[in-house]
Amino acid sequence: MRAVMFDPGQMTARLQLERPVETADGQGGAAVSFEPVCLVWACIEPLGEIREERAGAEIVTVTHRIWLRFRTGLAAGMRLRKGERIFAIRSLRDPDEGGRYLVCLCEEDGR
């Protein structure tokens, strides 16, 4: 596979990586909250938006491609936070299988 040319100097966004934690709700289900894992430098690229109507309100979901340095333990279902902005990780991949970078496809709710 070809090496991906990416300038790591573009990683100017400081993001908090968070993982989901399930807590039993006492009724057979679970409440999901998120706990911080670490801070990472990233490059955020907006890709597009999806507009839909839910319960009479227009909901906008913005999709992003977020580049990070390669790390183990990252999985879909985790999220990245920049202040009040939350990027839910839907999928991730190593773009050239070289173990240098990860590209996360994320969604940000624009409520």
**Annotated domain spans of the chain:** 10-109
Residue-wise pLDDT tens digits, 15-54: 999 999 999 888 888 899 999 999 999 999 999 988 888 8
Tell me what percent of the residues of the chain surpass a pLDDT of 90. Answer: 63
pLDDT at 111 over 80: no
Question: Which fold is adopted by the domain 10-109?
Answer: Thrombin, subunit H (2.40.10)
Assess contact for 3 and 101: CB atoms under 8 A: no
User: Rounded mean pLDDT of 83-95?
Assistant: 95
Q: Which residues pair with 32 in a beta bridge?
A: 22
0.75 cut: is pTM over it? Answer: yes
Assess contact for 44 and 66: CB atoms under 8 A: yes
Q: Which residues pair with 69 in a beta bridge?
A: 101
